Amino acid sequence: NSKVIQTPRYLVKGQGQKAKMRCIPEKGHPVVFWYQQNKNNEFKFLINFQNQEVLQQIDMTEKRFSAECPSNSPCSLEIQSSEAGDSALYLCASSPGTGGYEQYFGPGTRLTVL
Amino acid sequence: GDSVTQTEGLVTLTEGLPVMLNCTYQTIYSNPFLFWYVQHLNESPRLLLKSFTDNKRTEHQGFHATLHKSSSSFHLQKSSAQLSDSALYYCALNNYAQGLTFGLGTRVSVFP
């Protein structure tokens, strides 16, 4: 069973508001991923980190999202100005390494933007 | 960019019958990692199978898949479906430091 912790489990925001969610990766996993799963259950990779450094991020994440994984603190993903289309399940996953390692997913934060 | 195409939509079958979900992929990298993840209702995805070795069968929990680089395929099979296999199944790939590229998912419903 995954030991990735995500908070909060549910988040409701108005359009234009900031939305922030947190993730504690499994102990010993230096690589953290954020994914968005929409209402059609489709996944979109957002950003990943190895320790505190960004490995890869998509354009959307660069523009409206900010994310960080500080040492000795939870990782976080924040939407600067929420839009209705951001309503989705945000999944954090951690992994022992890059490449062919299994990613262990947390329970997710379900964001609803009204 | 990378892409994954899998059996679309809903697959319904009777318990005890075989199941096969197709997965093909496109990537510029010669050594991709291929995965099958399963997501049960109200749960997060968990790994079912993975492979990066060409033509080698990998098995777990009664499911098996073989990566065929010649046809860019990684089909998932099980000889006898169980009621507990009802779930969403995702084929996915990545290359080294990248995030996973998922297919659109296949919902499997197994009936008695």
Domain segments of chain A as ranges: 5-113
Weakly modelled stretches of chain B, pLDDT under 70: none
Give the chain B residue whose CA is nearest to the CA of A40. B104
**B81 or A97, higher pLDDT:** B81
Backbone φ and ψ of A59, nearest 5°: -55, -45
Q: How far is B45 from chain A (nearest CA, A)?
A: 6
- What is the second-level CATH architecture of the domain B3-111? Sandwich (2.60)
Q: How far is B43 from chain A (nearest CA, A)?
A: 7
**B63 or A71, higher pLDDT:** B63
| Fold entry, domain A5-113 | Immunoglobulin-like (2.60.40)
pLDDT given for residue A58 in this prediction: 86
Q: How far is B15 from chain A (nearest CA, A)?
A: 25
Q: Which residues contact A59 (CB under 8 A, 6 or more apart)?
A: none
Residue A105 has pLDDT above 90, yes or no: yes
What per-residue string of b and e applies to A25-46 under the rule 16 or more CB within 10 Å gives b?
bbeebbbbbbbbbeeeeebbbb
Judged by a CB distance cut-off of 8 A, whether residue B5 touches chain A is no
Residues of B in contact with A108 (CB under 8 A): 44
Question: CA–CA separation, A69 vs B76, rounded Å?
Answer: 35
Please indicate whether, in this complex, the C-beta atoms of B99 and A91 are within 8 angstroms of each other: no
Give the chain A residue whose CA is nearest to the CA of B51. A100
Residues of A in contact with B95 (CB under 8 A): 99
User: By 3-state DSSP, what share of chain B in percent is helix, strand and coil, each rounded to 5?
Assistant: 5, 55, 45
pLDDT tens figures, A51-64: 889 998 888 766 88
Substitution target from A39, A41, A43 for chain B, most B beta carbons within 10 A: A43
Question: CA–CA separation, B16 vs B81, rounded Å?
Answer: 5
Question: CA–CA separation, A37 vs B33, rounded Å?
Answer: 21
Q: Which residues of A touch B (CB under 8 A)?
A: 2, 33, 35, 40-43, 45-48, 50, 55-56, 91, 98-100, 102-108
